[in-house]
């Protein structure tokens, strides 16, 4: 993923204008486990929104595997996200009326994968996230840690090019948080899957092989371990 | 598509109490429209029955010229010809001849314009309900007997055996003719027009006042085993008799010419309930969407297109409407069934210049359970479009922030 001189400005006049991103440029290589850190209001979430196409940059370009995504329309971006980006949200955001298995296979269903293939992948991923036996439960019947593991399974099951996670451990206790970080790290290692987190969590920072620090909408530090 | 439908239907049951309350309200509103339809059909049947059985009969034969001009001089000179035609062609067993006279009824306390009807006492009993409606005295049988309504009795301050003068027009001499009568009985139909303006005397007295020794203005008849639905269909038809026009239910049809008012009422009522039902669904859908704005953004984040979000909300609306239809159907079957068995007493109530004299019974019809629910579901789907459009236009980054 290549972010080139991206600026995001909120508000239209001088009085309420906020520059959330100020000419940010960064390149994320395939297989990286990258943490975006910085104080609140530094622009981490805005950068995640822009690179995922949930928001458009005011200026600059976002490319994923040399495809320009910052100019895509709403429906084009939906298709692109479906096939290339996995999301893990702080509040899990599982679909409450679907079971664990249905939540996990949801994206594959949108991709048009056949039922047999979907079921096979769901069974496989449930083993990886240690949720075998929970297929038919609804999200509200699971603990926060289990829900977040379902969210991880949903994000990675369709083999996206990049997984974006916005404060994924913020709602979890330390034990569940640790277990989740280990899970994502394992997936990163085993499948060479690219992860980009915005986080305040020291456990994620410790596990990350790259830490990008932001402040006031600019990158002030970029360390690769 | 199947997943969208599944989500829509499951979302309907997500907040069970809210769904139950909304669907109950929508269902009751739909049911009120369905019940209104059955009640309206029952009311129409009641009106036709009231008109045909209380006085009009299923049809009448008049001289063509009388129908055109309403002048008393145009009578059926030889009613036997028409009677033969009635008995042989229409197989009518119940019929009666009537003489109509526009007249003035006078007592010592005042006078009133009235419509005098000369009747054949025995035959009239078999056709109309005047004999059943007598509240004082008896049915007229002697040439000087007169049967009046309760309102005329009060207006002219008359009692049984009091004298009353009827003044009318002799069509032969072209002069005024008068007769002195005694009040033999008083009837009450509950219709002001009837109870004040209709006076019954014997047919021979009426013919004498008219200046004719024979002949009638009207031959009213009832047909045996004629179902009410067939009578309704026959209403506008006319057949030729040797003497003039035999109008099957013409007068009935004329009286029910007040239908436009009735229809407006019915249509407005249904329109209002349907409209209110839609507003309810509209509010529900918006409320439900507002509760989970971020969720629709999650759907889009996962790869749903805008049109799919709209379809999802419409599917939810359809699920809601379907549930309302089930509630409405149950309610209509129960309420309609009760009204069909026990009837609703509208006795004495006037509507469209008619007074109901008997109970109104609910009439079930397939339209109530097919057309109404289908239209309801289609309207709900249309109304759900806007909330769906709203949900599909959310700014993902903004709504997802609300979930954090």
Top pLDDT among B305 and A99 is at A99
Number of C-beta neighbours around residue B38 at 10 A: 21
Top pLDDT among A4 and B401 is at A4
Cβ separation of B303 and A95 shorter than 8 Å? no
Would you give the end-to-end CA distance of chain A in angstroms? 19
Cβ separation of B306 and A95 shorter than 8 Å? no
B259-291 and B16-51 helices, crossing angle to 10°: 180
Q: Which residue from B244, B175, B199, B216 is spatially nearest to B102, judged by alpha carbons?
A: B199
Per-residue pLDDT for A222 more than 50? Answer: yes
At CB < 8 Å, which residues of chain A contact B? 45-46, 49, 52, 54-55, 74-75, 78-79, 81-83, 87, 89-91, 93, 95-98, 106-107, 109-111, 154, 166-167
Contact between A23 and A214 under an 8 Å Cβ cutoff? The reply is: no
Per-residue pLDDT for A8 more than 60? Answer: yes
C-alpha B351/C-alpha B255 separation (Å) is 11
Contacts of A107 (CB under 8 A, 6+ apart): A82, A86, A154, A157, A158, B302, B303
C-alpha B138/C-alpha B148 separation (Å) is 11
| A213: Cα within 13 Å, side-chain hemisphere | 7
Cβ separation of B302 and A109 shorter than 8 Å? no
The pTM assigned to this predicted structure is 0.68
Contact between B153 and B185 under an 8 Å Cβ cutoff? The reply is: no
Q: How far is CA B3 from CA A107, A110, A158, B7, B289, in A?
A: 11, 9, 18, 6, 18
Q: Which residue from A160, A172, A179 is spatially nearest to A199, judged by alpha carbons?
A: A172
DSSP notation for B377-400: HHHHHHHHHHHHHHHHT--HHHHH
Q: Quick one: tokens of A102?
A: 């249905």
Q: What is the pLDDT along chain B (404 residues), one digit of tens a residue?
A: 777 877 877 888 877 888 888 888 888 888 988 898 898 888 888 877 777 777 777 777 888 788 778 888 888 888 888 788 778 777 778 889 999 999 999 999 999 999 999 999 888 888 888 888 899 999 998 999 999 999 999 999 999 999 999 999 998 898 999 999 999 999 998 777 788 999 999 999 999 999 988 889 988 888 776 655 655 555 444 444 444 444 444 444 444 433 334 444 444 445 555 555 556 666 666 666 666 667 787 888 888 888 888 888 888 888 888 999 999 999 999 999 999 999 888 776 766 556 677 788 999 988 889 988 998 888 888 888 888 888 888 777 666 664 43
C-alpha A113/C-alpha A117 separation (Å) is 7
Contact between B193 and B5 under an 8 Å Cβ cutoff? The reply is: no
B217-252 exposure pattern, b = at least 16 Cβ within 10 A, e = fewer: bbbbbbbeebeeeebbebbeeeeebebbbbbbbbbb
Cβ separation of B400 and A90 shorter than 8 Å? no
A167-195 exposure pattern, b = at least 16 Cβ within 10 A, e = fewer: bbbbbbeeebbbbbbebbbebbeeeebbb
C-alpha A150/C-alpha A95 separation (Å) is 11
The alpha carbon of A61 is separated from its chain's Cα centroid by a whole number of angstroms, namely 19
Number of C-beta neighbours around residue A160 at 10 A: 19
C-alpha B387/C-alpha B183 separation (Å) is 72
Q: Quick one: tokens of B184?
A: 């033999």
C-alpha B173/C-alpha B175 separation (Å) is 5
C-alpha A118/C-alpha B74 separation (Å) is 90
Determine the pLDDT at residue B118: 94
Contact between B139 and B130 under an 8 Å Cβ cutoff? The reply is: yes
Cβ separation of A89 and B305 shorter than 8 Å? no
Helix (H) / strand (E) containing B102: strand B94-107
Find the residue in A nearest to B9 (Cα).
A97
Q: Which residues of B touch A74 (CB under 8 A)?
A: 300, 305-306
Phi, psi of A194 (to 5 degrees): -85, 130
Helix (H) / strand (E) containing B97: strand B94-107
C-alpha B100/C-alpha B71 separation (Å) is 10
Q: Quick one: tokens of B11?
A: 């979302």
A69 Cα to chain B: minimum distance (Å): 14
Q: In what order do the strands lie in the sheet with A218-224?
A: A85-88, A162-166, A194-198, A33-37, A210-215, A218-224
* Mode of pairing for the β-strands spanning A18-27 and A2-10: antiparallel
B259 Cα to chain A: minimum distance (Å): 51
Cβ separation of A78 and B304 shorter than 8 Å? yes
User: Average of pLDDT values for A204-223?
Assistant: 90
Q: Which of B10, B302, B404 sits opposite A106 (nearest CB)?
A: B302
DSSP notation for chain A: -EEEEEEEEE-SSTTT-EEEEEEEEEE--TT-EEEEE-STTSSHHHHHHHHHTSS--SEEEEEETTEE-TT--HHHHHHHHHHHEEEE-TT----TTS-HHHHHHHHHHHHT--HHHHHHHHHHHHHHTT-TT-TT--GGGS-HHHHHHHHHHHHHTT--SEEEEESTTTTS-HHHHHHHHHHHHHHHHHH--EEEEE---HHHHHH-SEEEEEETTEEEEEEE-
Find the residue in A nearest to B399 (Cα).
A54
Cβ separation of B295 and A95 shorter than 8 Å? yes
């Amino acid at each position: 993923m290549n972010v080139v001189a991206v600026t995001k400005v909120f508000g239209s006049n001088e009085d309420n204008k906020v520059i959330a991103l100020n000419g940010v440029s960064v390149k994320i290589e395939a297989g990286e486990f990258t943490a975006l850190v910085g104080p609140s209001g530094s622009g981490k979430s805005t950068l995640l929104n822009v690179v995922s196409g949930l928001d458009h940059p005011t200026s600059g370009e976002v490319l994923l595997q040399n495809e320009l995504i910052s100019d895509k329309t709403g429906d084009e971006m939906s298709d692109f996200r479906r096939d290339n980006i996995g999301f893990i949200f702080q509040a899990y955001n599982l679909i409450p009326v679907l079971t664990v298995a249905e939540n996990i296979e949801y994206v594959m269903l949108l991709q048009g994968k056949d039922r047999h293939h979907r079921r096979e992948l769901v069974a496989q991923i449930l083993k990886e996230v240690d949720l075998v036996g929970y297929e038919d439960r609804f999200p509200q019947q699971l603990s926060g840690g289990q829900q977040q593991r379902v969210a991880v399974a949903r994000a990675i099951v369709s083999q996206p090019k990049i997984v974006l996670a916005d404060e994924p451990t913020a709602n979890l206790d330390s034990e569940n948080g640790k277990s989740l970080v280990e899970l994502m790290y394992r997936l990163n290692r085993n499948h060479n899957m690219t992860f980009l987190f915005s986080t305040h969590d020291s456990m994620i920072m410790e596990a990350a092989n790259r830490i990008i620090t932001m402040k006031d909408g600019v990158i002030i530090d970029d360390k690769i371990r | 598509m199947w997943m969208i439908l599944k989500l829509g239907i499951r979302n309907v049951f997500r907040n069970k109490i809210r769904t139950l309350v909304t669907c109950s309200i929508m269902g009751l509103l739909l049911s009120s429209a369905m019940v209104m339809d059955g009640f309206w059909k029952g009311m129409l049947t009641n009106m036709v029955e009231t008109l045909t059985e209380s006085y009009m009969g299923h049809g009448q034969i008049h001289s063509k010229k009388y129908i055109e001009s309403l002048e008393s001089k145009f009578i059926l000179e030889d009613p036997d010809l028409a009677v033969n035609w009635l008995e042989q062609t229409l197989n009518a067993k119940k019929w009666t001849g009537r003489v109509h006279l526009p007249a003035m009824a006078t007592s010592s306390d005042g006078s009133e314009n009235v419509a005098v009807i000369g009747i054949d006492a025995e035959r009239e009993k078999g056709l109309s309900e005047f004999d059943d409606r007598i509240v004082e005295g008896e049915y007229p049988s002697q040439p000087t007997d007169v049967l009046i309504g309760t309102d005329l009795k009060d207006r002219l301050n008359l009692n049984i055996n009091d004298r009353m003068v009827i003044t009318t027009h002799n069509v032969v001499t072209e002069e005024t003719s008068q007769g002195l009568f005694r009040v033999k009985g008083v009837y009450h139909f509950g219709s002001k027009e009837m109870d004040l303006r209709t006076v019954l005397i014997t047919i021979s007295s009426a013919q004498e006042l008219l200046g004719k020794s024979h002949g009638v203005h009207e031959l009213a008849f009832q047909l045996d085993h004629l179902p009410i639905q067939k009578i309704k269909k026959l209403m506008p038809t006319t057949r030729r008799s040797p003497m003039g026009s035999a109008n099957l239910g013409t007068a009935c049809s004329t009286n029910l010419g007040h239908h436009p008012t009735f229809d407006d009422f019915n249509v407005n009522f249904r329109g209002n309930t349907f409209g209110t039902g839609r507003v309810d669904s509209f509010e529900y859908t918006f409320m439900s969407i507002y509760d989970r704005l971020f969720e629709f953004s999650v759907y889009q984040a996962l790869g749903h297109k805008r049109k799919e979000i709209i379809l999802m909300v419409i599917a939810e609306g359809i699920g809601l409407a379907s549930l309302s239809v089930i509630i409405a159907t149950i309610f209509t079957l129960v309420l309609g069934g009760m009204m069909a068995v026990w009837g609703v007493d509208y006795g004495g109530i006037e509507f469209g210049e008619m007074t109901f004299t008997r109970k109104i019974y609910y009439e079930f019809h397939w339209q109530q359970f097919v057309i109404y629910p289908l239209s309801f579901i289609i309207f709900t789907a249309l109304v759900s479009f806007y909330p769906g459009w709203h949900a599909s236009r959310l700014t993902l980054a903004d709504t997802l922030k609300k979930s954090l």
